[in-house]
């Protein structure tokens, strides 16, 4: 008998790198899942607005990776394209992070795999992605 366990990524710290119309980039926030919704929260800081996103899987269009070396470290950025309530398209740029490089790479792979499967599901399927 074969059992397949759904690998749901744990809540983690993530850096916001831009993509939505708010002030302040490259700020640390929190990334987590609530049912069929990806939640991303970055607190308000001096020179930067608060970000509190709740993006349902149904509003997501695509996710792809890019590399960024602007801040002196080779960072893999996730680019999550989604539509808001008004139908406008945005591409949120973020990177799940941990201090240890091997754990960071594993965490990024876990989140990317999960979101890729969530985006490739048929629209009528309400079960959790595997």
Does residue 33 lie in a domain region? no
Tokens standing for residue 22: 């708010």
Reported in sequence order, the residue ranges of the chain that DSSP labels E, i.e. its strands, are 12-18, 27-34, 37-42, 51-56, 60-68, 75-83, 89-97
For the chain, the domain total comes to 1
pLDDT of residue 128: 47
Domain ranges, residue 49: 16-22+42-120
- Residue 23's pLDDT is 83
Within a domain: residue 92? yes
Kindly state whether residue 34 falls inside one of the protein's structural domains.
Answer: no
| Residue 59: DSSP 8-state | G
Residue 76 lies in a domain: yes
80 domain-assigned: yes
Measuring CA to CA, which residue among 79, 78, 82 is closest to residue 53? 82
- Divide the 130 residues of the chain into consecutive groups of 10 and give the mean pLDDT of each group: 60 91 87 92 88 92 83 75 90 87 85 88 51
């Amino acid at each position: 008998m074969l059992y397949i366990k759904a690998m749901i990524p744990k809540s983690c710290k993530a850096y916001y790198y831009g993509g939505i119309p708010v002030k302040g980039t490259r700020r640390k926030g929190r990334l987590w899942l609530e049912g069929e919704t990806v939640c991303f929260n970055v607190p308000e800081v001096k020179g930067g607005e608060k970000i509190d996103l709740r993006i349902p899987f149904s509003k997501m269009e695509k996710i792809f990776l890019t590399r960024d070396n602007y801040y002196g470290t080779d960072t893999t950025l996730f680019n999550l394209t989604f539509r808001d309530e008004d139908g406008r398209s945005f591409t949120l740029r973020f990177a799940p992070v941990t201090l240890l490089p091997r754990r960071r790479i594993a965490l990024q792979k876990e989140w990317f795999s999960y979101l890729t499967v969530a985006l490739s599901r048929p629209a009528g399927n309400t079960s959790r992605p595997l």
